[in-house]
Amino acid sequence: MPESPDSSLHRAASPLETRIGLFAGATFRLASGRCLDCAAIPQALWYFADETIAAPRPGLPVAGFSRSVSVWQDVEQWAVTHPPGTPIDAPPLVWIGSPEIVRGASLSPDGATLAAGAKRWSFALVPKIPLNRSYYNAASTAYLAPRTLTVRGSSRDGVFTARTLWPEDFRLDSSAPSQRVDATP
């Protein structure tokens, strides 16, 4: 994906600079569903044609499925060939939704401006999906404005258009000790 067209803006972080689920982001590349060399099935690429996706870099083992057996047989075969503790195959496609992430951001009380450090953008939202009955409103602004946020979206011409907003105080404690969980059959 190209960088933000407005180079005078603060360059927000790429989703590839962090983890994507169980995988290091650097093992993926950003693309759209129009990708001609992605490992995903054509139906998935069609569905995400105009969306930002992460596709595994060439050479990375990619998860698949078999059409010639039942789902249960397919999962059973996968389990036999992937014992606990071995690396897992990457998903053929991960919907990223937006090419930029701004961490440590704050939203103005009126919801008109997004700021991160010394950088400021006019704030906008992606259009509401007609079937989505839950959407951003004044209560969202009131809840999010006093919090530090991580915002996913894209910047252009001084406007940051947000697709997702996440309060940074609403997360798992990264300093919590790891606890082993045994695999179960």
User: Does 3 fall in a domain?
Assistant: no
Residues 80-126 have pLDDT tens digits of 988 888 888 999 999 988 889 999 999 999 999 999 999 999 999 99
Residue 26: partners with Cβ closer than 8 Å, 6 or more residues away: 16, 17
Domain boundary among 49, 67, 95: 95
Identify whether residues 26 and 89 lie together within a single domain. yes
For the segment 56-65, the average pLDDT, to the nearest whole number, is: 92
Residues in contact with 89: Cβ distance below 8 Å, sequence separation at least 6, in sequence order? 61, 62, 63, 64, 82
pLDDT band per the 50, 70, 90 thresholds, residue 157: very high
Residues 53 and 79 in one domain: yes
Determine, yes or no, domain membership for 150: yes
Average pLDDT, the chain: 88
